[in-house]
Amino acid sequence: MPIKPLRKIIEAARGDRPVDLLIRNARLVNVFSASVVDTDIAVDSGYVVGFGAYAARAEVDLHGSYVAPGFIDAHVHIESAMVGPAGFARGVLPHGTTTVVADPHEIANVLGTAGIDYMLAASVDQPLNFYFSLSSCVPATDLETSGARLNAAAIEAYVHDPRIVALAEMMNFPGVLAGDDDVLAKIAAMQRAGKPIDGHAPGLAGRSLFAYLAAGIGSDHECTTIAEAREKLAAGMHIMVREGTGARNLDELLPLVTLYTARRMMWCTDDRHPHDLMAEGHIDSMVRRAVRGGLDPIAAIQMATLNPAEYFRLTDVGAVAAGRRADLVVIDDLCDPVVRQVYFGGRLAADAGQVIEYGRPAEVPVPPGTMHLALDRLDFGIPAQSGRMRVIEAFAHQIVTGSATAEALIVNGQAVADPAHDLLKIAVVERHRGTGALGLGFIRGFGLKHGALASSVAHDSHNIVVVGVDDSDLRTAVEEVAAMGGGLAVVAQGQALARLPLPIAGLMSDRPISEVCRQMDGLQTAARTLGATLPDPFMTLSFMALPVIPALKMTDQGLVDVASFKHVPLFMA
């Protein structure tokens, strides 16, 4: 981050010279005192330097509108918005987000440290403060092929970077509880640097929770019930209330947020897809919903500003105060907090939902190609071994799946898709090392009558996942994704009906978020013409290869029974 010009802002604060900007007639939301104060705000060199009457080179009169600190997303995967840092910044800035703490977990699973380096470089000189937490679990499991493996030594190389502010969600809580050497070394490295460790421990309770906390874990964003959040809060954790695309917890947890508990809680989006960012907003949407749900507006704003700033020890953001960055949001009605304007570093950066550009940073080269497939070895045929087989059940608005059984449709000794009974083929194709590894099975819930859908966004290892009716369309869909350098494709009768290129690690586009949304609209429309019944088939598809979420999932190594955490055969004896 830029070095603060101490001498200049001290002189400006003393009134020795005119400040750059005086924001007059503001109603300041003071998150320290939990009060609203009528005042003028003096800004110089990108920082707030004082309050009251100052001589200024420029003035803006807000006529009594409220001014709050810029909002902070406490935990987000930028990759889920399907745009790079530049596109993400321009997507969330008009909604009042001026700072994020991002976990580059997805790109790190593809490119390892090269992915982290790309995110650090591509986020410089953007109209957003990008901080990062170090991905702690790459790969997430050993039941799949990932593009990289980050051990404690790899993480240690980053711990003193000033933009690395935490160890990201420690998903491997069994490793913590078992005292795994590499897991504990990662935690210790961050503790030596004096930075917090984020948690990820769905359902952990009792002595297991105490042991997890004893290791130094400070937060959790996986609470789905009040009982779980209350126990973790009482045990000393900071609770991040999540409202993403695939996991929405705000309504359930809001009753726990009171004037007594709010200062230990904060907002995060975790994974929010581009359509939701455009239609609903970002952290501002959570603040609005919380206020409309009865939460005190200042408490809701504290959870979006001061709380995450203090947790991550970010002393330049999180409040409107002398010496802090002039990252400000202007709101007309505190009881219906819609962001009208955003100041970033003392400059009007967004107005009425539109970003005000001031020049663009230098282009950062896109990482080299990540599509390393053995296409010549692809064979989607499934020789029938018995009539009964395991079937993944996909559900709308869920990343969990069911585990069912079904009678195979057998043609010429091969188990084939049976669209009349919504029984489709699903495959995960290894794309990192060209091994030719291919997991094959069947899935129910997509509703396709013909054609295929394919995606290189497949949490967490991001191999290519494809679902469809006909083997030739499955192949064509995978080939389309590979030819784009990664992306999403809808195919029927050997032809691509819609495509979304994601050339940045097969996860992100280099195009504006509005363009990505239009392309996603085309994919959804094309999928519906094939019979897709899920509201967002590509969102659902992207989680069908995640073997840490129950109950039955598919990786490039085959079917995974998540309950037993092991591979299981497709056909049953």
pLDDT per residue as tens digits for the range 364-405: 888 888 999 999 999 999 999 987 999 999 998 778 899 999
Q: What angle do CA 319, 164, 99 make, to 5 degrees?
A: 35
Distance CA 143, CA 401 (A): 17
pLDDT of residue 74: 98
Q: Provide mean pLDDT across the span 183-187.
A: 97
Name the burial class of residue 57, with classes exposed (0-12), middle (13-18) and buried (19+) by CB atoms within 10 angstroms of its CB: exposed
Arithmetic mean of pLDDT, 525-539 = 95
Q: What is the pLDDT of residues 137-159, one digit of tens each?
A: 999 888 999 999 999 999 999 99
- Residues 6 or more apart whose CB falls under 8 angstroms from that of 140 comprise 109, 146, 171, 460, 461, 546, 547, 548
pLDDT at 192: 96
Cβ distance 235 to 210 under 8 Å?
yes
Q: Averaged over 114-120, what is the pLDDT?
A: 96
* Residue 399 confidence (pLDDT): 80
Sheet of 495-501, strands arranged across? 402-407, 388-393, 438-444, 424-429, 464-468, 452-455, 487-492, 495-501
Return the closest-CA partner of residue 318 out of 331, 308, 330.
308
Q: How large is the average pLDDT for residues 520-524?
A: 95
The CA distance from 289 to 297, in Å, is: 10
Structure tokens at 14: 């003393």
CATH architecture of 68-355: Alpha-Beta Barrel (3.20)
From residue 100, how far is each of 131, 132, 339, 381 by CA, in Å? Answer: 6, 8, 17, 45
Note the pLDDT of residue 549.
Answer: 83
pLDDT > 80? residue 426 = yes
Beta pairing partners, 504: 508
Average pLDDT over residues 152-174: 95
Q: Which residue has tokens 């902070």?
A: 72
List, in sequence order, every residue forming a beta bridge with 571; answer none if it has no partner.
389
Structure tokens at 504: 């940045």
pLDDT band for position 357 (cuts 50, 70, 90): confident
Contact 132/88 with Cβ under 8 angstroms?
no
Mean pLDDT along residues 448-465: 97
pLDDT at 261: 97
497 CB-near residues (< 8 Å, 6+ apart)? 451, 490, 491, 526, 529, 530
Confidence tier at 230 by pLDDT (50, 70, 90): very high
Segment 335-347 mean pLDDT: 97
For residue 1, the model assigns a pLDDT of 66
Reported as a pLDDT band with limits 50, 70 and 90, residue 210 is: very high
Identify the three-state secondary structure at position 402: strand
pLDDT score for 245: 83
* Domain layout of the chain by residue ranges: 68-355, 375-567
Residue 362: band (very low, low, confident or very high) from pLDDT cuts 50, 70, 90: low
